[in-house]
Amino acid sequence: MDIERLFDASYVRVLSRELEGQGFFEAFYERFLAASPEVATKFRHTDMARQQVMLKKAFYHLLAFYASSHADYYLQEVAISHSRAYLDISPSLYDLWLESLIDTVRAFDAQFDDEVELAWRLVMTPGIVYMTFHYDRGVRSH
């Protein structure tokens, strides 16, 4: 099966599930915040329910970027917002982000296997590269 279909099918499965009363994005952020005090500090003033909705929306753009190699305006803005000049999200934190995500998928997807894991990693990686590439380049020109 191709990468996009594997990803889509897994994504449908994880969204349709709750574990210990938590949805997928809630469980992801719980893991991610626990992964490092630096992450928890970055989100200390954040409304996490709202943040979950934002990430869900961003996933659509990450998938579109994987499929098209074209960064839309939304992804450009998110990359700039995470750059040194604004939220200052250092590139090393994206490793924690991806590992927390994969761990959450592993917990939520009953059909999780190596192929599914690889599909998630492949779909997310171009967006992560795009964002970390702009860490030191992310100054708004408008």
Interacting residues toward ligand HEM by CB under 6 A: 39, 42-43, 45-46, 51, 54-55, 58, 62, 78, 81-82, 87, 89, 93-94, 97, 127-128, 131
DSSP letters, 66-86, are: HHH----HHHHHHHHHTSTTT
Nearest distance, CB of residue 43 and ligand HEM, angstroms: 5
Question: Closer CB to ligand HEM, residue 55 or residue 64?
Answer: 55
What is the separation of C-alpha 59 from the centre of its chain, rounded to a whole number of angstroms? 7
Nearest distance, CB of residue 54 and ligand HEM, angstroms: 4
DSSP for residue 138: -
The helix (run of H) or strand (run of E) holding residue 5 is: helix 3-15
The token pair at 44 is 């200390």
Nearest distance, CB of residue 110 and ligand HEM, angstroms: 25
